[in-house]
Amino acid sequence: MPEFAVPDLPVPDHPDVTVPDPGPPAGHPWTAAMLTGELVPGAPVLGGPTVDSDADGVTDTTVAEVSDELVLATDLDHDGQADAVTRIGPDAVVTAHTGDAEPREHPWDALPLPPAWVDPRTGEWIRG
Ligand SMILES: [Ca+2]
Ligand SMILES: [Ca+2]
């Protein structure tokens, strides 16, 4: 009966069973969290984006429930920081963009915004 040589291989006490992080698809950024800063009071960090709002193949929007509001936080430039946030609550819809001095609040019982039109003299859009 032939004998087979068994290679003398080291056997670790605790084998490495971790699975490497697959990382982002080639050419796509990876964000595991959405930083909201002051755009979502009380929730500076949300989960990673799961919605591709502009259909470019890259998820950019996180949908979350914070307190009694539905929050949609969108990262337009894929840097992990929300650039636009819409908070839908029981009393109003609040939208905020990075760099805005104040968020815009539209209460549910408020009259609709007047239609916008172009001033023929200046070419500027005017509302009201
Ligand atoms: Ca997208
Ligand atoms: Ca961003």
The domain limits of the chain are 33-127
CB 62 within 8 A of CB 70: no
pTM of the predicted model, to two decimals? 0.66
Amino acid at position 18, single letter: T
CB 14 within 8 A of CB 63: no
- What is the C-alpha separation between 53 and 58, in angstroms, rounded? 9
Amino acid at position 9, single letter: L
pLDDT cut 90: percent of the chain above it:
64
Residue for token pair 């007047």:
114
User: What is the whole-number distance in angstroms between the Cα of residue 53 and the centre of ligand 1?
Assistant: 5
What are the tens digits of pLDDT across the range 1-10? 667 777 788 7
> What pLDDT is attached to residue 4?
76
Helix, strand or coil, per DSSP, at residue 112: coil
User: What is the whole-number distance in angstroms between the Cα of residue 34 and the centre of ligand 1?
Assistant: 14
What are the tens digits of pLDDT across the range 66-108? 999 999 999 999 999 999 999 999 999 999 999 888 999 999 9
Nearest CA among 74, 114, 124 for reference residue 98: 74
> Which ligand neighbours the alpha carbon of 56 most closely?
1
